[in-house]
Amino acid sequence: MYKYLIFICILFSACAADEVTTTFDDGSIKEVFSVNKEGQKDGVYKLFREDGTLYEESNYSNDQLNGLRRVYFPDGVQVEIEELYDHDVMEGEHLVYYPSGSKLIEVNFTEGKMNGLLTKYFEDGNVQETVTFVDNVEMGAFKEYYANGQVQWEGSFLNGDTEFGLLKQFDESGELIKKMMCDSLGVCQTIWTPEKGDIDIQNLNLSKPKH
């Protein structure tokens, strides 16, 4: 949305012939990148905020993102996101960080979509949650953890964040406190507790688990 001027250094010996700089209205630098002979972005690309801090650093090949891309927190120093591209398509490891530098999320992309296990961390490094993804959709096993490292919930998702099949709940000491059976709509029935043991599911009220 910002208007800016484009300066292409071609005739001046102080500038590389393939370097492009764009600016915000106040004259501060917005982008710095290289272009090939066709005028396409090719090489290192940097995008800045209006206050001068670095927002993004990435690599281009023939006008397409190719290789490592980093997004920075407002300080312009600490990395917030690291991701990989193959000709404009996200491919490989995707990482998100806390401002402290601790890892927040890690997941893999294939052909631009999340696939496999997404792991979310507490800031101290303990795992907070693991979720299986298939083509950007939660599909398969998941676990949620207490801050002390013990499992809180364990089950499976079906076609998004809908619990399906056996769902287990644990207390903070790791003791199993509930088993539930969930249908394809995410409606779950308690089928076991330590106090009652196995429960006759024919006489149950249906409930959606809260977690």
60 and 111 together in one domain: no
Instruction: Please state the three-class secondary structure of 49-104 as a single string.
Output: CCCCCEEEEEEEECCEECEEEEEECCCCCCEEEEEEEECCEECEEEEEECCCCCEE
pLDDT (0 to 100) of residue 44: 96
Residue ending a domain, among 90, 107, 139, is: 90
170 and 97 together in one domain: yes
103 and 195 together in one domain: yes
Residues of the chain whose pLDDT is less than 70? 1-17, 201-211
Whole-angstrom distance, CA of residue 115 vs CA of residue 118? 8
70 and 172 together in one domain: no
82 and 96 together in one domain: no
Helices marked H in the chain = none
CATH value at residue 178: 2.20.110.10
pLDDT (0 to 100) of residue 203: 55
Whole-angstrom distance, CA of residue 25 vs CA of residue 30? 10
The mean pLDDT of the chain is 90
Residue ending a domain, among 43, 61, 90, is: 90
Residue ending a domain, among 90, 121, 144, is: 90
How many domains in the chain? 2
80 and 97 together in one domain: no
103 and 51 together in one domain: no
81 and 97 together in one domain: no
pTM beyond cutoff 0.75: yes
Whole-angstrom distance, CA of residue 82 vs CA of residue 128? 20
86 and 96 together in one domain: no
Q: Which domain holds residue 85?
A: 1-90
Beta carbons of 168 and 179 less than 8 angstroms apart? yes
135 and 188 together in one domain: yes
pLDDT (0 to 100) of residue 200: 82
